[in-house]
Amino acid sequence: MKVLVVGSGGREHSIVWKLSQSPLVEKIYTASGNGGTRIHGENIPIDSDDIDSLVDFAKKNEIDLTVVGPELPLVKGIVDRFSESGLKIFGPTQKAAMLEGSKVFAKIFMKKYDIPTSDFVIVKNKEEALEIIKNKKYPYVIKVDGLAAGKGAFIIFSDEDCNNAISQIWDQKVFDEAANKVIIEEYLDGEEVSVFAVCDGERYVLLPSAQDHKRVYDNDKGPNTGGMGAYSPSPLATENILKKVEEKIIKPLLKGMIKEGIPYKGVLYCGLMVLDDEPFVLEFNCRFGDPEAQVILPLIESDFAELISKAVDGRFEDLTFNLSDKYAVCVVLASQGYPGSYRKGFKIYGLKELANIKDGYIFHAATRYENGEYLTNGGRVLGVTALDVTLKDAIEKAYKLVEKIHFEGMHYRKDIGVKGLKRLGVI
């Protein structure tokens, strides 16, 4: 089949790479792709949220299956638009993607279907917020309702934090319409883990868990980023925790979505806080994580195109699905200055030598290919992934690969996976 992948980051390169291994896939287009996706197919210059042009392209080129990487096109209704045109596409409908697109929708849904999450109130303006806050003890959390590129959650430990959140949300109106509603919720003091499932509307397959590293510097210091690295599976997601996630979160969610008339198809990304051996939902996302996809997809042994295709068709009843029992680690190599401003266009050295290594994959995030060279083209440039039997060996292998790559100003965290090693008692 001919496949179109929508997006241009490291997540999309890993999706394209995984699809390229399937005997079912003849040709892959990526919109708009990067220097890595072009290795496995053809990049087309259409933005990931230009839904009209994507529909036109898919019709003209008789695309058999479209896979969407980022949340924005999903929340804007790309799945509905493709389906109306008779095109097969993987992901939730616009209404179902509200689980990510509206935190208020997600919270009310969780309350209705008894899915564990922190207690909350919804406010519509600054006055209502101040009324709630004046009686609240620190810490607590303020979150804007809509998509905010990972910047819409404020953990409030002090008056200063509170004033900053209020100022950004209501005085400077940084979040615009995304902050028409705001949630004030209880702080959960635990450890975070993400659990992923691919859903066919009724059934699901569980993918390996993962832990992201959101802060830019080692030991979770510095500002938030899109994610500086990940490892999978996370020892925090024990069998016991995963069973609770399935019974208390995923199964009631799928049943609830059917009851609401919006069955959930696509990737369900459960962002969880584990506390006293119980999982609580921080947020749902309706897509793979980035860089979590770069560690999860290499652990899938089954045919990924078949998995995605059967999810769209609602046909998991006859799916065979196998996972590797190795660990995967991904270290993100970023441009100098990221997550603040940075320059791009620097030559990347070392990639050609690493093109065909065993259990190691260099996923391109922001690169472009020009005159036979790869150049940096954004903040998160590459995701260096390695697999091994133990987490410790996978970490060492990933950092050995990192040493072979260089570009001007390259920086990365040196402690990806260390939390996992501590939990396993290895260090």
CB nearer to ligand GLY: pick between 116 and 227: 227
CB of 120 to ligand AMP, least distance (A): 8
Q: What does 161 interact with, of ligand AMP, ligand GLY, none (CB < 5 to 8 A by kind)?
A: none
CB of 292 to ligand GLY, least distance (A): 6
CB of 418 to ligand AMP, least distance (A): 17
Q: What does 38 interact with, of ligand GLY, ligand AMP, none (CB < 5 to 8 A by kind)?
A: none
CB of 194 to ligand AMP, least distance (A): 9
Binding site for ligand AMP (CB under 6 A): 118, 141, 143, 153, 155, 185, 187-188, 192, 271, 273, 282-283
CB nearer to ligand AMP: pick between 46 and 273: 273
DSSP strand pairing (278-285 vs 367-370): unpaired
User: What is the CB neighbour count within 10 angstroms for residue 160?
Assistant: 9
Residue numbers 54-93 binding ligand GLY by CB under 6 A: none
CB nearer to ligand GLY: pick between 41 and 417: 417
CB of 185 to ligand GLY, least distance (A): 18
Residue numbers 266-285 binding ligand GLY by CB under 6 A: 285
One-letter amino acid for residue 131 of the chain: E
Q: Does 290 bind ligand GLY (CB under 6 A)?
A: yes
Interface with ligand GLY (CB under 6 A), residue from 41, 91, 116, 289: 289
Pattern 217-236, ligand GLY, x by CB under 6 A: ---------xx---------
Contact positions vs ligand GLY (CB under 6 A)? 212, 226-227, 285, 289-290, 292
